[in-house]
Amino acid sequence: MKELKSRHYQARTEKNALDADATLIFTFNRMGSGSALRKKITDQHYKPWLHINLSKQQDYEAIRIVSEWLDAVLDPIY
């Protein structure tokens, strides 16, 4: 891990997205600007991502969805 010298959160967000195998975003209702930026960057770099809106799904549903998604996304990597 190497610290990014930029003071701009956009640059840090992009570096984190590029270093990650996948992105999982949890929200209540809509994404905030930081989460939306992360989603946009992961799309631009063809990285997998999943958004779980906890105000629209029960906890057990979210757990099942995330578990299945992680199995599908990370299995080929590892």
- How confident is the model at residue 76, as a pLDDT? 66
Residue 61 pLDDT: 96
The answer to whether the Cα torsion of 56, 48, 68, 78 is positive or negative is: negative
DSSP SS3 for 24? strand
Answer left, alpha or beta for residue 53, where phi above 0 means left and psi between -120 and 50 means alpha: beta
Question: From CA 49, how far away is CA 39, in angstroms rounded?
Answer: 7
Classify residue 58: in a domain, yes or no: yes
**Would residue 32 count as lying in a domain?**
yes
Residue 68 falls inside a structural domain: yes
CATH number of 20's domain? 3.40.50.450
pTM of the predicted structure, to 2 decimals: 0.83
How do the pLDDT tens digits run along the chain, 78 residues long? 566 777 788 888 998 999 999 999 999 999 999 999 999 999 999 999 999 999 999 999 999 999 999 999 987 665
Measure CA of the first residue to CA of the last residue in the chain; give whole Å.
20
pLDDT of 78 reads 58
Domain span at 29: 9-74
Give the chain's domain count. 1
**Residue 2 within a domain:** no
